[in-house]
Amino acid sequence: MRLSLVLNLEKLSFELYKKSTQGSTFMSKRSTNLESFMEGVISHNPGEVEFHQAVREIAADIIPWLQDYPEYMEAQILERMAEPDRVISFRVCWEDDSGNIRVNRGYRIQNNNAIGPYKGGIRFHPSVNQSILKFLAFEQTFKNSLTGLPMGGGKGGANFNPKGKSETEVMRFCQSFMTELYRHIGADVDVPAGDIGVGAREIGYMFGQYKRITNHFTGVLTGKGIEYGGSEMRPEATGYGAAYFLEEMLKTKGESIDGKNVLISGSGNVATFAAEKINHRGGKVLTLSDSAGFIYDKDGIDEEKLKWVMELKNVRRGRISEYADKFSGAEYHADKRPWGVAADLAMPCATQNEILEDDAKTMLSNGIMAVSEGANMPTQIEGIHHFLASKILFAPAKAANAGGVGMSGLEMSQNSERRSWSNEELSKMLRDLMIGIHKNCNDAGIQKDGWCNYMAGSNIAGFKKVADAMMAFGVV
């Protein structure tokens, strides 16, 4: 009798508690309306404009979708994903060749490890700040989920400019950066890789310093050299993957890359391998760029010219303007981006916000059929709106460039199994991975009229797996 009274009182107080919290904590207004949600994000992260942009792009698709999934809304899953698990910021001191002491700021943003260890690249560029790395770590969480592999989302970097630095300066910087970073990472904790300004050379210096400090030879970084635990196909994976995604989108319209004119921006890792795959598929690459301007080669940047560009960028560390001196018929346009050149397909592969609203309008008026984003967040939101409204094939970065981190996930598997797969095996795995990501995004984004909104599809497909894992863990 007394027991049932206690139980009834408990039930009553739970009902009262539920009533009192409805409309406030649980059913927050922030979750039901994009603008009020964004107000919260903006006031919580003042001045972090790139982070606001990345959250808005995802929230615009997720919030309407959540209306059918009140359990995620009540658990405030989107709010929790937009708050990084951890933001680490640290001083990086090093000595330049003239004996001057230099001070940079290093970061690691550990955004979300619901489905696996934090995973994502390291960027060395003077523009690096907390906002840019938070946007990249947030995006990475969704991208990694799309790969289907067990990887959480993270990103790191420093406002260090590798341009014009000697080999030994780059080495000393990488060693100093790792001397702090090593305590925050691990093969089962957080596995960084490359990004802008961080390639095989920098990964080698960082891995060497990690091993020296910890005496552990583990898969703590990906993008390593083949001799010390790296994976075949990792250098090619992002660019090739973005071309495969483009190919899959075109197939849905009975089209192919063969015979198409293609605009590519950037001339680094992603851009050059995207160009290589476009050539393999019979497309003609018209442009490449760097931060100082772009080159336009109406005859096409074929395999041989591309080899020269790779040597220019990776060995001589030169500028893309030199291309126009080397190859007759090519033009160099200083301080401009390639989007004014008429073409069928575009692959922005340099950096964030490189396609502005007017660029998108120009590309559409020139008849662009498809855009596959090799870089992270290269198109401004207004530009995306134009692409979507025109119902062209638009592959957002988190789907199109997921081949890079996907291959990193396979490098992690090879490291923990202490084995390595062949180039042929990994080439097939990359192709299958991109076909699978395309299918999942297409299934989630297909509209009644047959056009696919890959943006919404990738956001929803990426969100769901992370959300379900977070639900399983309760409120943590």
Q: Catalytic amino acids?
A: 155
For tokens 């590519």, the residue is 264
Q: Which residue is nearest to ligand NDP (CB)?
A: 268
Buried b (16+ CB within 10 A) or exposed e, 128-147: bbbbbbbbbbbbbbbbbbbb
Q: Which residue is nearest to ligand 2IT (CB)?
A: 121
| CA 463/CA 350 separation, integer angstroms | 26
The conformation of residue 240, written as its DSSP 8-state character, comes to H
Q: Does 458 bind ligand 2IT (CB under 6 A)?
A: no
**Using an 8 Å Cβ cutoff, are 223 and 199 in contact?**
yes
Beta-bridged to residue 118, according to DSSP, are 152, 190
Q: Does 119 bind ligand 2IT (CB under 6 A)?
A: yes
The one-letter code for the residue type at 64 is P
Q: 121 vs 283, which CB is nearer to ligand 2IT? A: 121
Q: Does 341 bind ligand 2IT (CB under 6 A)?
A: no
Name the token pair of 149. Answer: 């592999």
Stretch that binds ligand 2IT, among 83-91, 117-125, 271-279, 383-391 (CB under 6 A): 117-125
Q: Which does 196 bind (CB under 5 to 8 A by kind): ligand 2IT, ligand NDP, none?
A: ligand NDP
Q: Does 28 bind ligand 2IT (CB under 6 A)?
A: no
Q: Does 113 bind ligand 2IT (CB under 6 A)?
A: no
Count the neighbouring beta carbons within 10 Å of the beta carbon of residue 116.
19
Count the neighbouring beta carbons within 10 Å of the beta carbon of residue 26.
14
| Number of residues lying near ligand 2IT (CB under 6 A) | 12
In angstroms, what is the C-alpha Rg of the chain? 23
Q: 76 vs 269, which CB is nearer to ligand 2IT? A: 269
Least distance from C-beta 397 to ligand NDP, angstroms? 7
Q: 91 vs 317, which CB is nearer to ligand NDP? A: 317
Q: Does 195 bind ligand 2IT (CB under 6 A)?
A: yes
Least distance from C-beta 204 to ligand NDP, angstroms? 15
* 352: CB partners within 8 A, 6+ apart: 50, 132, 135, 375, 376, 377, 378
Least distance from C-beta 473 to ligand NDP, angstroms? 28
For tokens 């990472």, the residue is 185
| CA 160/CA 182 separation, integer angstroms | 18
User: Pick from 100, 404, 468: which is nearest to 269 by CA?
Assistant: 404
Q: Does 376 bind ligand 2IT (CB under 6 A)?
A: yes
**What stretches of 22-103 show up as alpha helix (H) in DSSP?**
29-32, 34-44, 49-66, 70-74, 77-81
Least distance from C-beta 119 to ligand 2IT, angstroms? 5
Q: Which does 120 bind (CB under 5 to 8 A by kind): ligand NDP, ligand 2IT, none?
A: ligand 2IT
**Angle between helices 423-445 and 130-146 in degrees, nearest 10:** 90
Least distance from C-beta 156 to ligand 2IT, angstroms? 10
User: Pick from 43, 137, 160, 166: which is nearest to 90 by CA?
Assistant: 160
Least distance from C-beta 375 to ligand 2IT, angstroms? 9
Stretch that binds ligand 2IT, among 38-46, 113-121, 178-186, 387-395 (CB under 6 A): 113-121
Q: Does 181 bind ligand 2IT (CB under 6 A)?
A: no
Q: Which does 197 bind (CB under 5 to 8 A by kind): ligand NDP, ligand 2IT, none?
A: ligand NDP
**Using an 8 Å Cβ cutoff, are 378 and 350 in contact?**
yes
**Using an 8 Å Cβ cutoff, are 294 and 348 in contact?**
no
Q: 288 vs 343, which CB is nearer to ligand NDP? A: 288
| CA 76/CA 79 separation, integer angstroms | 5
Name the token pair of 374. Answer: 């090799």
Q: Does 222 bind ligand 2IT (CB under 6 A)?
A: yes
Q: Which does 229 bind (CB under 5 to 8 A by kind): ligand NDP, ligand 2IT, none?
A: none
For tokens 């940079």, the residue is 104
Tell which one of 287, 408, 440, 453 touches ligand 2IT (CB under 6 A): 408
For tokens 């591309």, the residue is 306
Q: Does 404 bind ligand 2IT (CB under 6 A)?
A: yes
Q: Which does 119 bind (CB under 5 to 8 A by kind): ligand NDP, ligand 2IT, none?
A: ligand 2IT
Q: 120 vs 445, which CB is nearer to ligand 2IT? A: 120
Least distance from C-beta 222 to ligand 2IT, angstroms? 5
Tell which one of 116, 120, 152, 338 touches ligand 2IT (CB under 6 A): 120
Residues within the interface to ligand NDP (CB under 6 A): 125, 194-197, 199, 238, 266-271, 290-292, 349-351, 374-376, 401, 404
**Using an 8 Å Cβ cutoff, are 333 and 293 in contact?**
yes
Strands 330-334 and 293-297: antiparallel
Tell me, rounded to whole angstroms, the distance of Cα 283 from its chain centroid.
25
Q: List residues binding ligand 2IT (CB under 6 A).
A: 119-121, 140, 143, 193, 195, 222, 376, 404-405, 408
